[in-house]
Amino acid sequence: MKVAVVGTGYVGLVTGLVLADLGNEVTCVDKDTKKVESIRAGIAPIFEPGIEEMLKRTLKNGNFNITDSIADAVKKSEIVFIAVGTPPATDGTPDLTAVRAVAKDIGKAIDKPTIVINKSTVPVGSGDMVEQIIKDQGVASDLFDVVSNPEFLREGSAISDTLNPDRIVIGTRRPEAAEKLKELYAPLQSEFIVTDLNSAELIKYGGNSFLALKISFINAMSRVCELCNANIGDVARGIGADQRIGPQFLYAGLGWGGSCFPKDVQGMVATAQGLDYDFGLLKEVIKINEDQTNHFLDRIEHRIGGFEGKTVGLLGLAFKPNTDDIRDAKALVIIDRILKAGGRVQAYDPVASHLVEDHFPAAIYVNSAYDVSKGADVVILVTEWNEFRQIDLARLAGTAKEAILFDGRRVYAPEKARAAGWEYHTIGIAS
Ligand code: UDX
């Protein structure tokens, strides 16, 4: 099929590439001409396993094209995805400026039957909004359909998630539009959930809010464990073994960050608020998440007698492993607090250091994990990159001023860390 994808962020670019790799003729669109040139030259703007190979392959076989013109892409496509960003505005509601602008340009270009698919994460009612904007450009309502088809990919495994979805949600008014999308996605052999537009939009917000709730729940449990000498790892394993609950997203740590959970949980709260429902449960989920990092930092400060004049080594900066994304990364909160308290930060991340440096030029960014502990008063593991799981803990301890390790992701076995010379502290186990 002939497909256009507007927006080349994580969702847009990965969707476009996967559809091209499945044999469709895909044209991606981005208004950033530098990005367009670089993608056209085979350079992916994001760090994501497998993406460069897929880009080079589909550019070479001609299935993937990129342009800065929405009109050109829409005119040669039967299906048009909207996959532009919806960052949170100051009041927590998603900013739909980009979605509106793109819908307008799509409306101006439609000259034959077209299915417009919203893949951006948007509040309930956005499908209706997109439809109205397109109609306002003079497009007859029987010439186009608007479909909500939310994306569930995770950063770091975006391509394999897109190729192996748990389900494909299609929200539409017309069964014919759903049939067309089923045809497009048929090679993925996934379950289809066909519903109305509003329900599809809520599935995305609801799903991410529930996952964030699961993490905040286990993080709240970790606080109880610390207070009663229990072990959160065992507690989570025991709870998660109940098939009705499941073991996933019950991993206690510094809390959730990234480009989706913070935005979508806030978006769910704001959506409910707009409908006159106070979603207090989710407000607490957000609060627990913020408290989790601050409580860990309180424990560290208490142990080392405050950050002032101390050197703090940080292992990892990205919001999670296998990505260079630092949006709402816990590292930002941690560095901010240490620097404001008069401490020194020396940090290492395999890919994200340069991005954090833009925010915090005063911190020192070292070139290897082993340099993090040199002369440090305390080391904090912030992001659980595999590189840190396999690190020589004794070598790391050897150069520290004080071999005190606070493991924010529960990566190391306490006895191994202690045998390697560390005074070891972690989440969900009393110090
Ligand atoms: C998430 C959703 O999983 C995905 O379906 C959606 O499309 C976008 O948002 P992503 O943000 O890429 O994906 O990362 P994910 O792997 O879900 O992790 C989110 C955050 O939760 C990370 O900060 C991670 O460290 C944290 N997390 C995850 C935990 O603290 N514990 C867990 O058990 C799982």
pLDDT in tens, 212-255: 999 999 999 999 999 999 999 999 999 999 999 999 999 999 99
**pLDDT score of 216:** 98
**pLDDT score of 114:** 98
Q: Which residues, judged by CB distance below 6 Å to any ligand atom, belong to the binding site of ligand 1?
A: 151-155, 208, 211, 215, 249-251, 253, 256-258, 260-261, 319-320
**pLDDT score of 277:** 98
Place of tokens 């990965």: 14
Domain residue ranges in the chain:
2-195, 197-431
Place of tokens 């409908």: 275
Top mutation candidate among 320, 325, 384 for ligand 1, by most atoms within 8 Å of CB: 320
Domains 2-195 and 197-431 share a fold: yes
Closest C-alpha residue for ligand 1 atom 7: 152
State which CATH number among 3.40.640.10, 1.10.260.40, 3.40.605.10, 3.40.50.720 fits the domain covering 197-431.
Answer: 3.40.50.720
Tokens in use for 201?
Answer: 């939009």
**pLDDT score of 140:** 97
**pLDDT score of 431:** 83
The amino acid present at 234, given as its one-letter code, is D
Residues of the chain falling short of pLDDT 70: none
Backbone CA torsion sign across 405, 309, 328, 39: negative
* 2-195 is a CATH 3.40.50.150 domain: no
Tokens in use for 355?
Answer: 């991005």
Q: Give dist(CA 365, CA 347) in Å, integer.
A: 5
Closest C-alpha residue for ligand 1 atom 31: 251
pLDDT in tens, 130-181: 999 999 999 999 999 999 999 999 988 999 999 999 999 999 999 999 999 9
pTM of the model: 0.93
Closest C-alpha residue for ligand 1 atom 3: 154
**pLDDT score of 232:** 98
**Do residues 114 and 79 touch, judged by C-beta distance below 8 A?**
yes
